[in-house]
A and B are shown apart, each in its own frame.
Chain A
Amino acid sequence: MSPTRKTREVSTRRGAAAEVQLRPERELRAITSQIFRIAKSLGLPEVEVHVDEVIDALTRFANNAIHQHVAEHGLSVSLRVVVDGRTARVTTNRIEEDALRSTLESAASLAASQPKDPGLLPIPGKQKYRPVRRFSAPTASLSAEIRARAVKTACALAENKGQVAAGIFSSGQSQTVLANSQGLFASYRQTQAEFSVTMQQGSATSWAKANAADYRVFDPQQLARKASERAERAINPVELATGRYTVILEPAAVLDLIGFLYYDFAATAVRDQRSCFSERLGLPLMGKNITISDDVYHPEQLGAPFDGEGIPRQRIVLVEQGVPRNLVYSRRSAKKAHKTPTGHGFALPNEYGEAPMNLVVEGGKTSLPEMIAGTDRGLLVTRLWYIREVEPYEKIMTGMTRDGLFLVEKGQVTRPVRNFRFNQSILQMLRNVEALGPSHRATAEESFEMVVPPMKIREFHFSEVTKF
C-alpha cells in the first residue's frame, strides 16, 4: 500500500452523516512524481499522467419515498506513454508502487504493439491557466441527512396535493491533476449539486431540474412547487393533429436539441466529412439572431480550464449571427489545419479529436411570459426526450415531448396536449427562431449542461402523436 493512499477518516458522530473529503492536491502531485520516478527507471522519457478523484452521493426518491441512497469514492490514475512515435493509455485505480510500475509497463507494451504514427506530436511543455473557482465547501460537505430532509419536504408537498414525487438530490466533489514529464502541471477541483423532480398526478406529469456548483444556488422546494403546479395543469390532455407548429421551447428543450450539434464543431469531424458543417463554414446556415460560443469561463459554467493534453481552453465564437465561423482544435487537428490549438482536445489517444463542452447560446430580451403573450397559436414545450439523429448532414433529429406540453392560444396557456414525436432539422429550426429569452445555465437529460435561452420557433415539425 502506498504511503499516499491513506484511508479517509469517516465521521460517525451521532446525528451526522458520513463525510469524506478530497485528498489535498499535494497527495495527487506526489502520485504523479512517483510515476515519473518509476517511468525514468523504466527508460520511458515521455509520460502524461491524469489523476482523478471523485466523491459523489445521490439520494433517489419515487412514490414519495427514498428508494435508493448511495455514495461513492474513487481515485483513478490514467497514464499515457510515448515511445518512438507511438502512444497508448492505461488506466487503473490501484496506486501501489508495484501496480503503477505494472501499469506503466502495460502502457509501454501497448504503445510498442502498433505501427509508428507520423502525426503524433511530442508531449507539450508547461502552460499557463486562467484560474476558475468552482468549489463550494458547503456543497462538498452536504450530508445524506440534509438531502433526505429536503426530499422528505418535496414528497410531503406531493402528498398534500394528491401527487406522486420522484427524483434525485445529488451532491459531489471531484478533482483532477494532469502532469507530464515535460513539466506541465494543471489542477482543477469543483463541486456539483443537482435536484431533479417529476410530479405525477394521475397520468399527468411535469418536471423541473437544476444543477450548479453550489447547492445554495437553487431551491429544491421551489423546483418541486413548479413541477407540482405544472402537473396539475397537465391533466386530461387533448390530442392535436400532427403538423408544423409555432413552439416555445423552455431552456431544457433548447439545450437537449442544440447539444447534438456539439461534435459538429470539431475540426476532426469536419476533416472526416461527418459534420453538418463540412464544406459549409462561412455559409448562413442559421438565422442572424443565432450566436453560439464555447466558453468554459462563463460564470454559470463548470469544467476545467484545460483540455485532455493540458492545453488552456480558449473562448471560441463558433457561430456568429447565423454563420458558422470557427471550429475547435486539438493540437493534432490544429497542426493539420495550420491553426492554433483551442484547448478542446480529448485525452489521447483517440479518434475523435476534440469538441466544445461548454456551449453558450447568446440570448435575447423576450422573456418566456412575453413569448407566450405574443403567440396567437402555438405549443409550450417543457422538455424533450429520447432524441436521436435521423440524418447527419441536415441534422434531422427525432424525439418526443415529455412532462408537460401545453397549447397556447391568443397569448394564454389554455390546455394540456398529448405528447408528440418530432422529426426536425436543427439547422432549419435555428433559421426559424422568432424570439430568444435571457440565457442561463440549463440542465436536462440528453445533453451536458450549457447556457441557453428559451426560444420561440415557427414551423417546428411534429410527425406523430402518442397515447398520453
Chain B
Amino acid sequence: MWDYCGHSLDVARLRGAAYADVRVMHLLQRDLTTKGGSVGTLGQSESIGLGIRVVVNGAWGFASTDQLTRDGVGACAAQAVAIAKASALAKKSDVRLAPEGVYVDSWQGPCQKDPFEIPVEAQLDLLLKADAALRAVKGVTLSETDMQFRKIDSWFASSAGSKIHQRRVHSGCGIVATSFKDDAIQKRSYPNSFGGQHVLGGYEFIEAMDLLKHAPRIAEEAVALHSAAQCPETRGTLILGGSQLGLQIHESVGHPIELDRVLGQEANFAGTSFLTVDQLNHLRYASPIVNIVADARIAHGPGLGTFAYDDEGVTAQCIDIIKDGEFRGYLSSRETAHLVGLQRSGGTMRTESWNRLPMIRMTNVSLLPGTWTPENLIADTDDGILMETNRSWSIDDRRYQFQFSTEIAWEIKKGKKGRMLKNPSYSGITTEFWNSCDAICGADHWVLWGTPNCGKGQPMQTMGTGHGAAPARFRNVRIGTAFSNE
C-alpha cells in the first residue's frame, strides 16, 4: 500500500502540487438482519481504493480510483492535479494549512473478538432467538433484529512525510418490536432505535448488549403503548434518557460547531450555523453545569469518533466545546484553524471511504457526567415527563429550532415514575434548551452512544459519530407539540 501512496505523491509533486496527501483504504462490512423469524439481509462487502488530495496554484483537487496499479494511481494523481488547476479558475485566496507534525505510526483500536472471525451461524442464531423472543409477546406484529460490523484499514501518507496506518473495527446491533392495532403503529427498540448501538470494538460488545434479556421488555412496552395515555401538550420539566440526549447533543451542539458550516461551506446543503465566529468565548450556550467536549482520544472511550489520527494526519485531541456553560470551541481542520485564531487543527477531518474527500466531522461530542443518579433525579422531580429512545428528529438549517419525538415516556409525579405515555415529543430553541439544564447524572450512568448514520457533504458521506451522555433534566420545555392541532 505504501508503494501506491508513494508513487501517487511523486506524480502529484512532479505535476506541480505544492502539497498532497493520499489515503488507501480497505473497508470490509458485514450486515445481518432478521424479520419475523426469517433471515432478511445476509451480506458482506469489501472495497479498496486510493484517494489523493492536492494543492496546485493555491487550490484543491481530489481524485480517487480503485485501480491499484502503478499506472492507475499515477493517472489518479494526474487527474487530481488537473482538477486543482481548474479549481484555481474560481478561487478567492490560496489554501493555507495550519502546521502539523510529521508522524510515522501504526495504531489499532480495541477489538477483543474480531466479528469477522465469529461464525455467521452463531451471529444469526443470536438474532433469530431475539427475534423469537420479540414475537413471543402477544400483540407484536413485526419483529426485527440487526447486526453490523465494519473493519476499516487506512494507510495515510503526505508529501510532508507522514505515514500512518490505522485499523478500526466497528460493531453494532439492535432489536425492534412493532405493534399495529386499530389506527396506530407503535414500536420499541433496544439498545437504541434506527440500527441500535454501535461502538469501536469487536463481538464482545454484542455479547455485552444481552439482546435476549431485553427483548421481552421492549416487546411488552410496544404493545402497552396502544393503551397508554397521549403525551400532553404542555410546558414543563423534561428528563431525557441517555440515548435521546446523545442525539440532542449531535443535532444541537455537534453540527453547529462544525467550522465548515459556520464558514458557509455547507450553505447549499447541510446548512449553516447560528454559532458565528463572534460568539466564540462570548455566548452562554448552556447552564453552568454543562460541559461538552469533542474528544477523539481512546481515553474518552471506544466511540465511533475515536481514532489516533484524523484523515489529514492530525493527532486525536480533546477540545473544549462548552466549558461551564460557555461556548469555547469549534471542530476545525488544518485549512480552517487560522480563521478562528487557532495555531493548530483540532483534528476532526474524516472521510467515509477512499473515494471521498475528508471533511470536518464530529468525533465524540460528549456531555461530561454530572453527579446525580437516575433515582435521585426522579425523586427530586415534582412534576415532569421522562422520555426515552428517539423516534424522530428535525432541526432547522441554522440549528436553532428543533423538535424530537421519542418512542416512550412516563409521567413523573411527586418524585415517582408513574403511568406510561404514548407519542411523546418536545421542542425548543437550542440555547434556551441547554440553558435550562439543571441536573446531569453521573459517570456510572454515562454511555458513549454511537450514531452510525450521520450524513453530510456533497457527494454525501455517511459517518459514525460518538456522543457520551447520562440522563439529564431540563426545565420549562415545550412538550407535545408534534401532535398539537393548534
Instruction: Evaluate contact between A351 and B33: CB separation under 8 angstroms.
Output: yes
Give, as a whole number of angstroms, the nearest-CB distance from B147 to chain A: 13
What CA separation (Å) do A464 and B481 show in the bound complex? 8
Within 8 A of A (CB), among B383-398: 391-398
Give, as a whole number of angstroms, the nearest-CB distance from A157 to chain B: 13
Asked whether A375 is an interface residue with its Cβ less than 8 Å from the other chain, the reply is no
What CA separation (Å) do A398 and B400 show in the bound complex? 15
Instruction: Evaluate contact between A91 and B46: CB separation under 8 angstroms.
Output: yes
Set of chain B residues within 8 Å of A71, measured between Cβ atoms = 62-64, 79-80, 83
Instruction: Evaluate contact between B267 and A113: CB separation under 8 angstroms.
Output: no
Within 8 A of B (CB), among A382-427: 385-394, 396, 398-400, 402, 419, 421, 423
Identify which of A65, A144, A168, A387 contacts B83 (C-beta below 8 A).
A144
Asked whether B39 is an interface residue with its Cβ less than 8 Å from the other chain, the reply is yes
Set of chain B residues within 8 Å of A164, measured between Cβ atoms = 264, 267
Within 8 A of A (CB), among B25-41: 33-36, 38-41
Instruction: Evaluate contact between A68 and B38: CB separation under 8 angstroms.
Output: no
Instruction: Evaluate contact between B49 and A93: CB separation under 8 angstroms.
Output: yes
Instruction: Evaluate contact between B63 and A70: CB separation under 8 angstroms.
Output: yes
Give, as a whole number of angstroms, the nearest-CB distance from A128 to chain B: 29
Nearest to A61 among chain B residues (CB) is B90
Asked whether A89 is an interface residue with its Cβ less than 8 Å from the other chain, the reply is yes
Asked whether B278 is an interface residue with its Cβ less than 8 Å from the other chain, the reply is no
Identify which of B60, B93, B185, B481 contacts A273 (C-beta below 8 A).
B185
Set of chain A residues within 8 Å of B75, measured between Cβ atoms = 7-10, 18
Set of chain A residues within 8 Å of B65, measured between Cβ atoms = 72-74
What CA separation (Å) do A65 and B265 show in the bound complex? 10
Set of chain A residues within 8 Å of B401, measured between Cβ atoms = 400, 421, 464-467
Q: Per-residue 0/1 for B78-98: is the Cβ within 8 Å of any A Cβ (1 yes, 0 no)?
A: 111011101101111100000
Asked whether A249 is an interface residue with its Cβ less than 8 Å from the other chain, the reply is no
Instruction: Evaluate contact between B40 and A145: CB separation under 8 angstroms.
Output: no
Asked whether B45 is an interface residue with its Cβ less than 8 Å from the other chain, the reply is yes
Instruction: Evaluate contact between B392 and A65: CB separation under 8 angstroms.
Output: no
Q: Per-residue 0/1 for A88-102: is the Cβ within 8 Å of any B Cβ (1 yes, 0 no)?
A: 111111100000000
Identify which of A20, A149, A166, A423 contacts B265 (C-beta below 8 A).
A166
Select the residue from A10, A145, A461 with max chain B CB neighbours within 10 A. Answer: A10
Of the 9-residue stretches A32-40, A114-122, A291-299, which lies at the interface with chain B? A114-122
Asked whether B462 is an interface residue with its Cβ less than 8 Å from the other chain, the reply is no
Identify which of B42, B271, B355 contacts A110 (C-beta below 8 A).
B42
Instruction: Evaluate contact between A18 and B400: CB separation under 8 angstroms.
Output: no
What CA separation (Å) do A315 and B342 show in the bound complex? 58
Select the residue from B48, B425, B458 with max chain A CB neighbours within 10 A. Answer: B458
Instruction: Evaluate contact between A58 and B44: CB separation under 8 angstroms.
Output: no
Asked whether B483 is an interface residue with its Cβ less than 8 Å from the other chain, the reply is yes
Instruction: Evaluate contact between B459 and A56: CB separation under 8 angstroms.
Output: yes
Asked whether A242 is an interface residue with its Cβ less than 8 Å from the other chain, the reply is yes
Nearest to A419 among chain B residues (CB) is B396
Instruction: Evaluate contact between A273 and B141: CB separation under 8 angstroms.
Output: yes
Known: A61-B90, A392-B185. A386 touches B394 (CB 8 A): yes
What CA separation (Å) do A164 and B265 show in the bound complex? 11
What CA separation (Å) do A111 and B121 show in the bound complex? 10
Give, as a whole number of angstroms, the nearest-CB distance from B354 to chain A: 9
Nearest to A143 among chain B residues (CB) is B86
What CA separation (Å) do A396 and B322 show in the bound complex? 35
Instruction: Evaluate contact between B45 and A90: CB separation under 8 angstroms.
Output: yes
Instruction: Evaluate contact between B484 and A93: CB separation under 8 angstroms.
Output: no
Q: Per-residue 0/1 for B349-383: is the Cβ within 8 Å of any A Cβ (1 yes, 0 no)?
A: 00000011100000000000000000000000000
Asked whether B66 is an interface residue with its Cβ less than 8 Å from the other chain, the reply is yes
Set of chain B residues within 8 Å of A61, measured between Cβ atoms = 90
Known: A67-B265, A114-B124, A200-B267. A402 touches B396 (CB 8 A): yes
Asked whether A22 is an interface residue with its Cβ less than 8 Å from the other chain, the reply is no
What CA separation (Å) do A13 and B82 show in the bound complex? 10
Instruction: Evaluate contact between A94 and B83: CB separation under 8 angstroms.
Output: no
Asked whether B43 is an interface residue with its Cβ less than 8 Å from the other chain, the reply is yes
Nearest to B485 among chain A residues (CB) is A461
Identify which of A63, A72, A148, A421 contacts B86 (C-beta below 8 A).
A148
Instruction: Evaluate contact between B355 and A72: CB separation under 8 angstroms.
Output: yes
Asked whether A60 is an interface residue with its Cβ less than 8 Å from the other chain, the reply is yes
Instruction: Evaluate contact between A350 and B120: CB separation under 8 angstroms.
Output: no
Instruction: Evaluate contact between A423 and B484: CB separation under 8 angstroms.
Output: yes
Asked whether B71 is an interface residue with its Cβ less than 8 Å from the other chain, the reply is yes
Set of chain B residues within 8 Å of A66, measured between Cβ atoms = 59, 87, 89-91
Set of chain B residues within 8 Å of A12, measured between Cβ atoms = 78, 82
Identify which of A151, A242, A394 contacts B90 (C-beta below 8 A).
A151
Asked whether A64 is an interface residue with its Cβ less than 8 Å from the other chain, the reply is yes
Asked whether B148 is an interface residue with its Cβ less than 8 Å from the other chain, the reply is no
Instruction: Evaluate contact between A18 and B357: CB separation under 8 angstroms.
Output: no
Set of chain B residues within 8 Å of A115, measured between Cβ atoms = 39, 124, 128
Known: A62-B267, A113-B124. A94 touches B46 (CB 8 A): yes
Instruction: Evaluate contact between A390 and B392: CB separation under 8 angstroms.
Output: yes
Set of chain A residues within 8 Å of B44, measured between Cβ atoms = 88-91, 106-107, 110
What CA separation (Å) do A390 and B481 show in the bound complex? 11
Instruction: Evaluate contact between B124 and A423: CB separation under 8 angstroms.
Output: no
Set of chain B residues within 8 Å of A62, measured between Cβ atoms = 263-268
Instruction: Evaluate contact between A72 and B64: CB separation under 8 angstroms.
Output: yes
Asked whether B144 is an interface residue with its Cβ less than 8 Å from the other chain, the reply is yes
Asked whether B341 is an interface residue with its Cβ less than 8 Å from the other chain, the reply is no
Asked whether B208 is an interface residue with its Cβ less than 8 Å from the other chain, the reply is no
Set of chain A residues within 8 Å of B84, measured between Cβ atoms = 69
Instruction: Evaluate contact between A70 and B185: CB separation under 8 angstroms.
Output: no
What CA separation (Å) do A283 and B397 show in the bound complex? 37
Instruction: Evaluate contact between B69 and A1: CB separation under 8 angstroms.
Output: yes
Asked whether B158 is an interface residue with its Cβ less than 8 Å from the other chain, the reply is no
What CA separation (Å) do A207 and B267 show in the bound complex? 10
Asked whether B207 is an interface residue with its Cβ less than 8 Å from the other chain, the reply is no
Known: A61-B90, A200-B264. A393 touches B184 (CB 8 A): yes
Set of chain A residues within 8 Å of B67, measured between Cβ atoms = 5, 7-8, 73
Within 8 A of B (CB), among A130-171: 143-145, 147-149, 151-152, 155, 164, 166-168, 170
Instruction: Evaluate contact between B268 and A349: CB separation under 8 angstroms.
Output: no
Instruction: Evaluate contact between A92 and B60: CB separation under 8 angstroms.
Output: no
Set of chain B residues within 8 Å of A10, measured between Cβ atoms = 75, 78-79
Known: A144-B83, A152-B89. A393 touches B185 (CB 8 A): yes
Give, as a whole number of angstroms, the nearest-CB distance from A134 to chain B: 20
Instruction: Evaluate contact between A423 and B83: CB separation under 8 angstroms.
Output: no
Instruction: Evaluate contact between B141 and A385: CB separation under 8 angstroms.
Output: no
Instruction: Evaluate contact between B87 and A69: CB separation under 8 angstroms.
Output: yes
Select the residue from A18, A61, A200 with max chain B CB neighbours within 10 A. Answer: A18
Asked whether B47 is an interface residue with its Cβ less than 8 Å from the other chain, the reply is yes
- 29 A–B contact pairs at CB < 8 A? A5-B67, A7-B71, A63-B264, A65-B90, A66-B89, A69-B86, A70-B356, A72-B356, A74-B49, A75-B66, A88-B42, A88-B44, A92-B46, A110-B43, A114-B121, A115-B39, A164-B267, A166-B267, A242-B486, A274-B185, A349-B42, A388-B393, A390-B483, A398-B482, A400-B396, A423-B481, A445-B269, A463-B482, A464-B478
- B contacts, CB < 8 Å to A: 33-36, 38-49, 51, 59-67, 69, 71-72, 75, 78-80, 82-84, 86-87, 89-93, 119-121, 124, 128, 141-142, 144, 178, 180, 183-185, 263-269, 271, 274, 355-357, 391-398, 400-401, 403, 405, 423, 425, 427, 429, 458-459, 478, 481-486
4 further A-B contacts with Cβ under 8 Å, apart from A7-B69, A387-B394, A391-B184, are: A61-B90, A71-B79, A200-B267, A467-B401
3 A-B pairs with the lowest CB-CB distances in the bound complex, closest first:
A351-B40, A466-B401, A18-B79
